[in-house]
Amino acid sequence: MSGAVCPGSFDPITLGHLDVFERAAAQFDEVVVAVLVNPNKAGMFTADERIAMIEESCEHLPNLRVESGSGLVVDFVKSRGLTAIVKGLRTGTDFEYELQMAQMNKHVAGVDTFFVATTPRYSFVSSSLAKEVASLGGDVSGLLPEPVNQRLRAKLGR
């Protein structure tokens, strides 16, 4: 059985993230979305809120589950008996950073990383950009799963 982890902060999940999850779920028997918590970084949504939004957005993916984690991603991967990391890439800058991380993860723990090129219509989408545009009153409904869009609007009092 093959399994992979899709790690990230997902504050909040975007349609770009969802696209990567769907594509990973088509390639691996088991996919775990790891909602990583950085204690030095205050997010808009709590880890529990992020997990709930991802679960709601991914109900159609029976081989995907969501967990929170902290520390090294490779430790998360190994502790669950999984073998790979899946990362979406939007730009060359993403690739340069993620390639270094992939090589370190392979060196440290023997964990392979699989890169998924972002679907072009999501190449500009990020959680940060969606939050910024929404906070200024812009429409981000085409960037986020609808349940996430509703929660973001509620969080912003819109």
Does a structural domain hold residue 68? Answer: yes
Active site residue 135: no
CB neighbours of 148 closer than 8 A, spacing ≥ 6? 12, 13, 14, 53, 57
Phi-psi region of 91 (alpha: psi -120 to 50; beta: other; left: phi over 0): beta
Q: How confident is the model at residue 124 (pLDDT cuts 50, 70, 90)?
A: very high
Does a structural domain hold residue 8? Answer: yes
Active site residue 127: yes
Instruction: Domain count for the chain, please give it.
Output: 1
Report d(CA 21, CA 36) in Å as an integer: 16
Does a structural domain hold residue 15? Answer: yes
pLDDT tens by residue, 38-83 = 887 778 999 999 999 999 999 999 999 999 999 999 999 999 999 9
Report d(CA 26, CA 107) in Å as an integer: 27
The CATH number covering residue 73 comes to: 3.40.50.620
Active site residue 107: no
How many other C-beta atoms lie within 10 A of the C-beta of residue 1?
8
Backbone angles phi, psi at 67, to 5 degrees: -140, 160
Does a structural domain hold residue 131? Answer: no
Domain encompassing residue 91:
3-123
What is the H or E stretch that residue 75 is in?
helix 73-79
pLDDT tens by residue, 16-46 = 999 999 999 999 999 999 999 888 777 899 9
Catalytic option among 65, 78, 80, 90: 90
Catalytic option among 9, 57, 127, 151: 127
Report d(CA 54, CA 66) in Å as an integer: 7
Active site residue 60: no
